Structure 1
């Protein structure tokens, strides 16, 4: 692919902040293409196009990551953090770019365009509805997030870097939901939608960050194992080393997911301002 050769192999690792521009730019391009080619239902197509545009860079990064981990003599949390730090930052910046494009798009585009462009994402908002504060909230959140985490890990394990589709979908869904929530609440209260969006993001940032971090770690874990399967025999010492290394990474992802679920449960159950904004958003 042409995109694989536009930049040096490790340029994103050295300048991970540019991944934000990559995520935002590719999202805008994908939305425009999907809107032109599939005007009746562009939502999922835009997500798929965004993921396809990002894939070439991720493929190169997984190759780099696998080579780094193979050199490690023994496992330690410090080395695990050091080896994966840049890769995680790249994923986070890409997700942030996608998230903000969809959030701002939900704020500034006319209602009918938002409903058409982001229809699939908005259906997820409707599914939450007024039941979001019912108990047992923690288990409901944790089980839902666990299935997403497991799907990301398995898709990465089977395809290498294919889990970027689910990560892109989650970023676009959260961006759309928070953007529409802020927009509708502002419309109801005659306030500034950008102010409402900032308030919502400040409230949800802790648990949203933990959840996306857990998904990213699961994607890296499965992707690196998948890459190593293509290069090594199952019985080889090199494969066992990389497998064990990334199994720990997946366990850490699960722990972070549980912490994120606890934080989200607390926010949904105790932050009255957030409850009020959500309720206002359903009154228009």
Structure 2
């Protein structure tokens, strides 16, 4: 439910390839519509959904619940991403790493992309309602609406805090996954929600430092565009500390296994963030993509650790709410 601007890897900083000349028209069309959903970003969102399913059950949840939540979540994320492509078509056409997206290169009519995004959103809500819980369906709709109307249409082009608050949409898969199992939202889900919320700015600002000229040309006031590198890296360090703190809040609701993974992973991330800070303070090339790539690995490792910890069902360190 997040773009590279809120959550996700901005297609891992790689623009989609143009269809091969020998590709059939049908295959090219299907590929273009699939690209609208930003599959790589969906992958990252689903990585944070699965641990919430396992943690809510504190065991391996029913396979049908897992599959239904992942399918419904993928539809919701695809809807949000497709609608974001409609809103950001002018921006994508300007930025080098996004100018080959379907709407930027006119591979899909704007109206068709809009209908496609709305239909995916409706399908996601109906599917989640029918197969999991009504709470999960409502949360999915809220995430889509927030991402499109609050982030894409309002915040992104107006404030340097765009990614901070816009990133809330990218945190929603965690609470959707938890509510799909229990029908409510326990405090561990909110703690991991905080991990993703504070993870998003360092992840995105590192990418934006690398592609600062792109954002500036498109008129998007990302923090690296409107502030000095010193301000940006200081904010990255602060958010990184908050992220790691939230990850450790989960320790009382987990076993020693999660703690043994989350603590060193957090230290590694903090070390990388501080190295970036020091490089900028000393006037050396920032090399922000190191942190960007590490951020993807960090979120994956912590998510997998939380899921495995819950699946094994080891005794928790403290009390679960």
TM-score by length of 2: 0.26
State the TM-score, normalized to the length of structure 1. Answer: 0.28
Q: Which has the higher helix share?
A: 1
